Amino acid sequence: MVTIAIENLSAALGRRPVLHQIDATLRPGRMIGVIGPNGAGKSTLARAVLGLVKARAGAVTIDGRSVATIASRELATMIAYLPQGQTLHWPLSVERLIALGRLPHLGPMSRVSAADAAIVREAMARADVSDLSGRIATELSGGERARVMLARALAVGAPAIVADEPLASLDPGHQMDVMALLSLEAEAGALVIVVLHDLTMAARYCDELLLLHRGRLIADGPPAHVLTPTHLRDVYGIDAQIASYGGKPAVIPVDRARQASRLRRNG
């Protein structure tokens, strides 16, 4: 199990500052949702956790080790990454594509073992793609491809998962399946970090939320603490009703906020 600490982190894409003084501690056994409007810095934060975006200031550490000092192969065994909108170029079978998740564990010239193959089959079953095993990955629909890439991330067997918008291209039923599966990973002890646009999915399945706006952390904590009418108005510019179903909040946007938000005026 791993703990990821984000300490006073600032980062840029090229010359453009994107993240500003982010502080958060992400602990195992939790599902952390990263939310915010377009351009808030959500994907940049996810990539910074993986060492793919370098810090301008501050640091990201994994169990006290700077992510910048961890070799890429070792890091790949610690955090499984599911990026958004992956394009497949090679006509591999689905089973072979998912088996690529085992590569960080294999030495040079090593082959997938029987134990690795069993892990791949289990990942396929958990992601509900076993029936696609013989299909060519480049011929899948967007929703099928999204579930296959999730299976590949699960096949890594890492103690942490970073999933960037894993619900894109999925119908509502499979969206719930994916969130439930990621939630089960957290319940089993993994640290799960998921970038989301769907606020109700974030509210219902995540243990904690990080709300970003213009690269700054506006609020963090349990969904009921973060998804308040004031935060939704200030950050998203919407008026919304916060309903309850099964003891968890559901966010229902009803209109654009009538007044410009304080954060937009002062941002």
Query: Does the structure show a pLDDT above 90 at 260?
Result: no
- Maximum Cα–Cα distance across the chain: 62
The SS3 call for residue 81 is: strand
pLDDT at 109: 62
Q: How many CB atoms lie within 10 A of CB 83?
A: 18
Mean pLDDT (whole number) for 235-259: 86
How many Å apart are CA 250 and CA 223, to the nearest integer? 10
Instruction: Please name the residues in contact with 37: beta carbons below 8 A apart, sequence gap of 6 or more.
Output: 213, 235, 236, 237
Structure token pair of residue 32: 């952390």
- Ordered by where they begin, the domains of the chain are 4-266 (3.40.50.300)
* Residues 48, 12 contacting (CB under 8 angstroms): no
Q: Which of 78-82, 106-110, 143-147, 250-254 has the lowest mean pLDDT?
A: 106-110
- What does the pLDDT read at residue 250? 87
Average pLDDT, the chain: 90
Residue 146 — pLDDT band, cuts 50, 70, 90?
Answer: confident
**Bridge partners (DSSP) listed for residue 24:** 6
CB 166 within 8 A of CB 14: no
- Write out pLDDT tens, residues 148-158: 999 999 999 99
**Alpha carbon distance 21, 8 (integer Å):** 4
Radius of gyration of the chain, Cα coordinates, nearest whole angstrom? 19
* pLDDT for res 85: 73
Residue 261 clears pLDDT 50, i.e. is over it: no
pLDDT, mean of residues 2-13: 96
